[in-house]
Amino acid sequence: MKKRVVAYARVSSKSRSQAHSLEFQKSYWNEKLATDPDYEFLGLYADHGISGKSIKNRTQFLRMIHKAMDGGIDIIFTKSVQRFARNTEELLSIVHELRDIGVAVVFEKENINTLQITSDLFLTVAAAVAEEDLSRYRANVVWSIEESYKRGKPISFGGRVFGYHVGKNCALTINEEEAEVVRKIFELYISGYSLNDLKNYLDSKGIKSPMGSVWSNSTLSGILRNEKYIGDVMLHKEIQVNGVRKVIRNKEVNQYYIENHHPAIITKEVFKKAQEVAESRRNPLLVGLVNKEYPFTALIECSCCHKKFHHKFNHSSSNYSAPWYRCSSTRDKCTSTAIREDILEELFIEAFNEFVRNRYQGVEEQDYQSQIDAKEKEEQELTKLYANGWISKEDYDSELNQILETKNKLLKEQSSLKSRLITDRDYKELKVFDPTKVTKFLKKCIVKRDTIEFHFYNGVIISKKVINRRIYHYATN
């Protein structure tokens, strides 16, 4: 009865030379096994471009072993231990399992048949040599990469770089169409857009991600952190640990930073501001507060379309960028006026100083508490009515939802007022703009055609009117 046999081959890269090697092995085993009268050759299992360090990613290898375990194979032929497995523990475990069910593995180069009694000793030695060869090879590769990095020469960028064309020897030239998207991402993020806002904006415009699909928060975060957009390159950002890419932290290996490696898409100033915004959003103590350089971000509301104003740099990719606040709506649908950052700061100083001088009385913390107590009393009375059967379940649920919604809103307002931590020392007139006063005192701004309303946390509203740079004002409670 013929033995059912297969062959296994593996090459560790997808280069042309390795592809030729795989073709050679296919021809070799077909000629050797298909023509032997004692064998029924079932074919070749081959993994292409996969490391031999572990078997978990070698799909053809696993298919072959499963078929053998199911009784479909009698003998497995392979060129060498190195091609079969370089992990000694895995190698011996697989060989023993196959041997227990009578399946032999024949390693041609080492002349080892695993059904022979002495095979374990020879296999252990051969696998140890293969593992040592792999370690030595990897060390040589790491050394070669390290030396290139020391000379400031990137090996690769791990694929494409959105916004650039990657040329020979990792030369980067600007892809102007994609570069405009990169500039827009930084501009909107600095102006107050969250990662979700950016994702929705880009998807709504039909702009494809670097992978040609919809955008993800991780892709956007990677772009916002990528120093390549200012013309620099950080080498050795990642290492591989057990076959998994890992971002380097805490000086695990040497890193090399190359300045002015290629043309920049954005300025260093814009990149720095984006990192500061990201840091402020990561810090739990700063949640709800904006970067001190843009204290009005997310506070300015358009009276025309009720959308938020965003901080914007005109000519953000040049040295002549100027900061503005502008409605996020399209200009043909909105009649609100964009306002320069310095003018807005002047208006706030005027409004704040008036607020301090007059000590306008608005809603205080105790006022919120009184309203909250009243809502809790309403809740108790409503529960009593329902418990006595005087109102239906439907009416009870409807009324209760309204009470709870109002009470939660009051609690939130009260909490916001408490978090301001305002003391008597804060009521001091300003001579120059102080962003901390915006954070502590201001709830929002509403921009109209020629007027700006500053809404303070205690309910006071002070309006400023701008006509030809002359400021007019009035206050309301």
**363 or 299, greater pLDDT:** 299
Say whether pLDDT at 242 is over 70.
no
Least confident residue range of 82-86, 123-127, 193-197, 336-340? 123-127
| CATH among 3.20.20.60, 3.40.50.1390, 3.30.70.250, 2.60.120.10 for 3-142 | 3.40.50.1390
Q: What is the pLDDT of residue 286?
A: 41
Q: Are 368 and 417 in contact (CB under 8 A)?
A: yes
Q: What is the pLDDT of residue 246?
A: 43
- Tell me the domain boundaries of the chain: 3-142, 164-282, 300-359+427-476, 365-419
pLDDT band at 359 (very low <50, low <70, confident <90, very high): confident
What is the mean pLDDT of the segment spanning 287-303?
67
pLDDT band at 15 (very low <50, low <70, confident <90, very high): very low
Q: What is the pLDDT of residue 173?
A: 87
Average pLDDT, the chain: 76
The span from the CA of 280 to the CA of 276, in Å, is 6
337 Cα distance to chain centroid? 34
Closest CA to 270 of 229, 217, 328: 229
Q: Are 110 and 122 in contact (CB under 8 A)?
A: yes
Task: Name the pTM for this structure.
Answer: 0.36
Helix orientation angle between 119-150 and 88-100, rounded to the nearest 10 degrees: 150
Q: Which of 128-142, 268-282, 327-341, 444-458 has the highest mean pLDDT?
A: 444-458
The CATH class of the 164-282 domain is alpha beta
pLDDT band at 94 (very low <50, low <70, confident <90, very high): confident
Least confident residue range of 59-68, 173-182, 209-218, 361-370? 361-370
Closest CA to 313 of 345, 258, 269: 269
DSSP E strand stretches across 191-345: 233-235, 238-241, 244-247, 256-258, 300-302, 309-314, 322-327, 339-340
Under DSSP, is residue 173 helix (H, G, I), strand (E, B) or coil?
strand
Q: Are 155 and 176 in contact (CB under 8 A)?
A: no
**38 or 117, greater pLDDT:** 38
What is the mean pLDDT of the segment spanning 173-183?
91
Share of the chain above pLDDT 70, in %: 68
Least confident residue range of 67-71, 124-128, 301-305? 124-128
Strand order through the sheet with 309-314: 309-314, 322-327, 339-340
